[in-house]
A = this chain, B = another copy of it.
C-alpha cells in the first residue's frame, strides 16, 4: 500500500467516524457536511472527494453497520445457545469498541428514519433484519420447549429491543454496570420447560 493510499484510508475512516457522531446527534437532514469537514480539519470540498455526496456518506455507514450485524447461522445448535452467543458477541463488541457501540445506536435510528432518507439504505437494512432472521430459531426453540410460546416476531422484537436499548444507554451513560446475559435470555426462556419435555 502506497503512502497516498494509506493516507486516503486513514482520512476516509476519520470522516466516517465523525459523520457517525453527527448522524446520531443531528439526524441525516440536520447533519452539515461543512461541520463534519471542519471537525476533520479539512475543507468542505475535500469531503466530496472522498464521498460524492452526503447520502453516499450515510449509506456507507449503513453498509458498514449491516456488515457488522451479520448473524452467524447457528447450525445444529440449540436455539437458546444461539441467542446466548448473540448476547456474548454483542456485549463484548459494545463494551470494547466505541465505534461499534455507536454503530448500534446509529442502526437503531436508521431503522426509524431510513425510509425518509434513502431507498438503498431501506433495502440494505431490510436484507439484514436480524429480528426477522431470528424468527426460525425462536420457532425451533418453541418446538423444543426451550422458548416460551407466543408470536415469534413479537418475541424477537422484545429481545432485540432490550439489546438495542442497552446499547443506546451505554453510549450516553458511562456509569452503567454490565447486565448478566441471563437477563436478556429471560425474555425468551420458557419457565415451564421442565414440564414440557
A-side interface residues toward B, CB under 8 Å? Answer: 24-31, 105, 109, 111-113, 116, 131, 148, 150-151, 153-155, 157-158, 160-162, 164-166, 168-169, 172, 176-180, 183-184, 186-187, 189, 191
- Closest CB pairs A-B (n = 6): A161-B165, A29-B30, A27-B27, A151-B177, A30-B30, A186-B186
- Chain B contacts of A30 at CB under 8 A? 26-30
Number of copies: 2
Give Cα A178 to B158, complex, Å.
11
Give Cα A148 to B187, complex, Å.
13
- Chain B contacts of A111 at CB under 8 A? 168, 172
**24 A-B interface contacts by CB (under 8 A):** A26-B29, A27-B30, A28-B30, A29-B30, A105-B112, A111-B172, A112-B168, A112-B172, A148-B183, A150-B180, A151-B177, A153-B177, A154-B176, A154-B183, A157-B166, A157-B169, A158-B165, A161-B161, A161-B166, A183-B187, A186-B187, A186-B189, A187-B187, A191-B191
